[in-house]
């Protein structure tokens, strides 16, 4: 550009171009050169974008091409409609070699029973629930649903009978309706609304700008924690599963939302065999049986009263939480506290 402008300037200076001509040439030249380089620049930009996208696509296909380690047995049967009896019989399980995560684990859940799993981090609570959905295979013993060994049934039929609600509600970008429908792809709009009503999510959904058609951001970041939880509840029950696995969230929500979630939980657990990794004392107390785990073993089992009477680990931990809040409203407040209590939690406040 400098060279061309210099030549034009020289020509104007020595009189072979008039000033007006020189200005015209210079302006024209600069405008055209801009026009020429703009698309070149954007081609270069697109190229780096394409490279990035290719790298991303590569990873996506890697994931899609992953062969699952756990596959159906060749003679696997369709799991028929079940009542929801779950039996862990002498189950031994390790993720790696012989680092047993569950040792001779025995647990028998009756249809419709709510079982709360409690214990410190690493006790094996999540592992118990992961085995139930057959995300991993056990090394020894049997795990059966209504008497069907889960290794003998087709995995898709097994997973259709159960819903898993994770601690972190997983929402996708898309509308509220689509997010709920994810639990049952052929659900009608009425079914979606019924599920939302059942868990008490309908009211707040209607208050959103476009109701059920409100677009959620990725991971539902435009909703509150409690609202996300309720939507994931609706998603969990829309397929009416017989077995429900719930990694209860400890998230701090306001008192109103807390109450809505409590009620939603009660509705969800009703008539379903449920395994709840329970953090709220209210859920624990309402459970039919509480399983206290330590290092992959059950150290105490029974309902709240029985375990309190036993005066063991559960009773200790319960009292520890309870005494954190003194006085009258203790129960109400304790109900929303996380469990087991953190060792560094302030006492007597
Ligand atoms: N994917 C995994 N691979 C290897 N070890 C794991 C895996 N998940 C959990 N573990 C181990 O299994 C044990 C039990 O973990 P987990 O079931 O998550 O306990 P909890 O849910 O009670 O905190 C822990 O010692 C943990 O380190
Ligand atoms: Mg866990």
129 lines ligand 1 (CB under 6 A): no
| Average confidence (pLDDT) over 164-171 | 85
Residue 78 confidence (pLDDT) above 50: yes
How far away, in angstroms, is 130 Cα from ligand 1 center? 10
- Distance (Å, rounded) from C-alpha 266 to C-alpha 256? 16
Residue 100 confidence (pLDDT) above 90: yes
pLDDT of the residue at 341: 63
Tally of CB atoms within 10 A around 216: 21
Structure confidence at residue 217 as a pLDDT band (50, 70, 90): confident
Specify whether the CB–CB gap between 101 and 165 falls below 8 A: no
Q: Which CATH superfamily is domain 86-335 in?
A: P-loop containing nucleotide triphosphate hydrolases (3.40.50.300)
Torsional class of 90: left (φ above 0), alpha (ψ -120 to 50), beta (otherwise): left
Give the number of whichever ligand sits closest to the CA of residue 250: 2
What is the atom index within ligand 1 of the atom nearest the CA of 136?
Answer: 1
245 lines ligand 1 (CB under 6 A): no
Residue 167 confidence (pLDDT) above 70: yes
Q: Identify the residue with better confidence: 32 or 222.
A: 32
CA-nearest of 149, 130, 145, 335 to 253 is 335
Stretch among 97-101, 162-166, 168-172, 227-231 having the lowest mean pLDDT: 168-172
| Average confidence (pLDDT) over 283-300 | 92
122 lines ligand 1 (CB under 6 A): yes
Q: Which residue has the least CA distance to atom 27 on ligand 1? A: 122
How far away, in angstroms, is 207 Cα from ligand 2 center? 34
Sequence-distant (6+) residues with CB within 8 A of 173 are: 215, 216, 217, 218
Question: Among residues of the chain, what percentage have pLDDT more than 90?
Answer: 62
Stretch among 122-126, 221-225, 330-334 having the lowest mean pLDDT: 330-334
pLDDT of the residue at 328: 42
How far away, in angstroms, is 212 Cα from ligand 2 center? 32
Q: Give me the long-range contacts of 98-107 (CB less than 8 A, separation at least 24).
A: 100/296, 101/127, 101/296, 102/127, 102/128, 102/131, 102/138, 102/296, 102/297, 103/295, 103/296, 103/297, 104/141, 104/297, 105/141, 105/296, 105/297, 105/298, 106/298, 107/291, 107/298, 107/301
Q: Identify the residue with better confidence: 196 or 249.
A: 196
pLDDT of the residue at 334: 53
On whether the pTM is more than 0.85, the answer is: no
Per-residue pLDDT tens over the stretch 225-238: 888 989 999 999 99
| Average confidence (pLDDT) over 217-246 | 89
- Distance (Å, rounded) from C-alpha 19 to C-alpha 164? 79
121 lines ligand 1 (CB under 6 A): yes
107 lines ligand 1 (CB under 6 A): no
pLDDT of the residue at 348: 41
* Mean pLDDT of the chain, nearest integer: 88
Sorted by where each begins, the domain ranges of the chain are 2-65, 86-335
CA-nearest of 108, 106, 77 to 93 is 106
What is the atom index within ligand 1 of the atom nearest the CA of 128?
Answer: 17
The tokens of 31 are what? 């405008």
How far away, in angstroms, is 248 Cα from ligand 1 center? 17
Give the number of whichever ligand sits closest to the CA of residue 127: 1
DSSP per-residue codes, 66-127:
PPPSS---TT-B--------EEEEEEEEESSTT-EEEEEEEEEE-TT-EEEEE-STTSSHHH
Structure confidence at residue 346 as a pLDDT band (50, 70, 90): very low
167 lines ligand 1 (CB under 6 A): no
- Collapsed DSSP state (helix, strand, coil) of residue 221: coil
126 lines ligand 1 (CB under 6 A): yes
Q: Identify the residue with better confidence: 152 or 323.
A: 152
99 lines ligand 1 (CB under 6 A): no
pLDDT of the residue at 24: 93
- Distance (Å, rounded) from C-alpha 156 to C-alpha 135? 12
Per-residue pLDDT tens over the stretch 14-58: 988 898 999 999 999 999 999 999 999 999 999 999 999 999 999
Stretch among 1-5, 231-235, 276-280 having the lowest mean pLDDT: 276-280
| Average confidence (pLDDT) over 169-186 | 91
Structure confidence at residue 338 as a pLDDT band (50, 70, 90): low
Structure confidence at residue 319 as a pLDDT band (50, 70, 90): confident
341 lines ligand 1 (CB under 6 A): no
């Amino acid at each position: 550009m400098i060279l061309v402008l210099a030549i034009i300037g020289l020509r104007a200076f020595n009189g072979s171009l008039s000033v007006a001509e020189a200005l015209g040439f210079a302006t024209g030249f600069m405008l055209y050169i801009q026009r020429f380089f703009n698309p070149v620049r954007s081609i270069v930009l697109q190229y780096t974008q394409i490279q990035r996208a290719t790298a991303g696509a590569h990873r996506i296909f890697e994931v899609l091409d992953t062969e699952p380690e756990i596959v159906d047995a060749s003679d696997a049967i369709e799991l028929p409609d079940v009542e929801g009896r779950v039996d862990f019989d002498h189950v031994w399980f390790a993720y790696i070699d012989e680092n047993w995560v569950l040792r001779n684990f025995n647990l028998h859940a009756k249809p419709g029973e709510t079982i709360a799993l409690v214990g410190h981090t690493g006790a094996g609570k999540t592992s118990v629930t992961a085995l139930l959905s057959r995300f991993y295979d056990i090394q020894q013993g049997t795990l059966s649903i209504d008497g069907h060994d889960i290794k003998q049934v087709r995995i898709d039929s097994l997973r259709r009978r159960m819903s898993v609600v994770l601690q972190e509600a997983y929402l996708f970008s898309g509308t509220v309706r689509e997010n709920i429908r994810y639990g049952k792809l052929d659900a009608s709009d009425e079914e979606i609304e019924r599920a939302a009503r059942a868990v008490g999510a309908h009211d707040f959904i209607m208050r959103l700008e476009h109701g059920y058609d409100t677009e959620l951001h990725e991971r539902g970041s435009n909703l509150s924690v409690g609202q996300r939880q309720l939507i994931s509840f609706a998603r969990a029950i829309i397929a009416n599963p017989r077995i429900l696995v719930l990694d209860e969230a400890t998230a701090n929500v306001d008192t109103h939302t807390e109450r809505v979630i409590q009620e939603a939980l009660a509705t969800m657990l009703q008539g379903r065999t449920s395994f709840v990794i329970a953090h709220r004392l209210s859920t624990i107390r309402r459970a039919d049986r509480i399983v206290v785990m330590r290092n992959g073993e059950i150290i105490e089992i029974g309902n709240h009263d029985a375990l309190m009477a036993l005066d063991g680990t559960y009773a200790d931990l319960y009292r520890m939480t309870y005494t954190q809040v003194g006085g009258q409203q203790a129960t109400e407040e304790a109900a929303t506290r996380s469990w087991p209590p953190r060792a560094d939690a302030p006492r007597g406040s």
